[in-house]
Amino acid sequence: MKRYIQIILALAKAYRLRFFRDKTALFFTFLFPLLFLFVFGSLNSSNSDISFKVALFNRSDSSFAKDFVNKSQSDKTLKVNKDVTDFNTARELMGRGEIDSIIELPKEFGVPNNNGVPSGKMIVYYQEASPQSGKTIAAVMEGVLDGINKSLGQPEPPLGVTQKSTATSNLSPFDYVFSGLLGFTLLSLGIFGLANSMPAEKKTGAFKRLRASPITAAQLIFANMLHYLLIGLISVVLMIAVALLVFDFNMRGDWLTLATFVIIGIILMFGFGLAIGGWAKNENQSAALSNIISFPMMFLSGTFFPRFLMPSWLQDITAFLPLTPIIDGMRQIITESKTLFDLGPELGLIGIWIVIIYFIAIRVFRWE
């Protein structure tokens, strides 16, 4: 057993030394994901979109407030999410960008004042890290209430708007999409990197010469996994460093928890690359199979856009894609301070996929 492990470690060291001498590989492994991070990070570092998806909470029993809610729900400008009934849930949805603001009608809103006309101030919540949408909606609602005030003919407006911050964790839109960017990096390194390098090794006859030694297919696969595990960790560390320095990345969770989860995710994603590269005889075979496997995960696992935008039936299906629990788990650690114990379902699904993909990788491996 000791000899078995020594061979794996020696192979991993040899791969590492050769990799760091290849400037092209270094560029596409480390710098290309950073360029990708800059592009998408810049697009999501601030929320410039003005939309009107809101959650509406009515605390008042006045007839005016009830009538206001009914009209708001049928208004084309305000798209009220009727499924949100809990304020804390609404805050989380607002933080993730699923809704843009929360409108609250306090208990005294719409209650007639001494002049017998409806009075009170509604509360429009905005997110401190990205206040544009909430403040825009507040301005719109002020215009609506000013129109009502004028129709009431009151010298001093009895109806008004108060703006409040959700006072969550000051997370920005970038903080929520960053896990998707990390997931895309793991996907790219794991599948496209290994799926191309292993067939190239076969063409040079390197694997064929190794086959003459006591090395087994399993040892070769695990050696490659250890080597690329280090590469993947370096790439993730670089991305986090840029996110912290350039985009003010805000980490709510524990760094050790994130590191542990990322390592597990790297092991899974690189298993797919090992399976594809080990099976393919040349780059043409590996490229076709890589695209077939990676594209569904790339566009359906929440990498570029959140899965909540998909139909519910599609969300149920995509939840079982290998990359989905990785991205969901990293997002929950980053934005919700989840621990590994909280991520039991995600870790369970990842564990199942690891067993399946490494079993396949060993069984389908070809030396040449």
Whole-number pLDDT of residue 228: 79
**d(Cα 54, Cα 134) in Å, to the nearest integer?**
9
The residue from 165, 180, 206 where one domain ends is 165
Are 256 and 306 part of one and the same domain? yes
SS3 per-residue string spanning the chain: CHHHHHHHHHHHHHHHHHHCCCHHHHHHHHHHHHHHHHHHHHHHCCCCCCCCEEEEEECCCCHHHHHHHHHHHHCCCCEECCCCCCHHHHHHHHHHCCCCEEEEECCCCCCECCCCCECEEEEEEEECCECHHHHHHHHHHHHHHHHHHHHHCCCCCCEEEEEEECCCCCCCHHHHHHHHHHHHHHHHHHHHHHHHHHHHHHHHCHHHHHHCCCCCHHHHHHHHHHHHHHHHHHHHHHHHHHHHHHCCCCCCCCHHHHHHHHHHHHHHHHHHHHHHHHHCCCHHHHHHHHHHHHHHHHHHCCCCCCHHHCCHHHHHHHCCCCHHHHHHHHHHHHHHCCCCCCCHHHHHHHHHHHHHHHHHHHHHCCCC
Q: Per-residue pLDDT tens for 173-213?
A: 677 778 888 888 888 877 776 767 777 666 666 666 766 66
The residue from 142, 165, 188 where one domain ends is 165
User: What's the mean pLDDT in 152-164?
Assistant: 64
The residue from 98, 131, 165 where one domain ends is 165
Are 19 and 63 part of one and the same domain? no
Are 125 and 179 part of one and the same domain? no
What is the residue range of 183's domain?
2-45+172-364
47 confidence band (pLDDT: 50, 70, 90): very low
Are 214 and 344 part of one and the same domain? yes
29 confidence band (pLDDT: 50, 70, 90): low
Are 131 and 194 part of one and the same domain? no
Are 35 and 57 part of one and the same domain? no
Are 304 and 207 part of one and the same domain? yes
User: Which pTM value belongs to this model?
Assistant: 0.59
344 or 167, greater pLDDT:
344
Would you say 226 and 274 are in contact if contact means Cβ atoms under 8 Å apart?
Answer: no
Domain count, the chain: 2
User: What's the mean pLDDT in 111-124?
Assistant: 80
**d(Cα 126, Cα 141) in Å, to the nearest integer?**
13
Are 30 and 65 part of one and the same domain? no
Return the percentage of the chain with pLDDT > 70, whole number. 68
Comparing 9-18, 219-228, 247-256, the range with the smallest average pLDDT is 9-18
What's the token pair of residue 96?
């993730």
CATH number at residue 153: 3.40.1710.10
Q: Mean of the per-residue pLDDT values for the chain?
A: 75
Whole-number pLDDT of residue 352: 92
Are 109 and 137 part of one and the same domain? yes
Are 186 and 307 part of one and the same domain? yes
Are 235 and 339 part of one and the same domain? yes
Are 129 and 265 part of one and the same domain? no
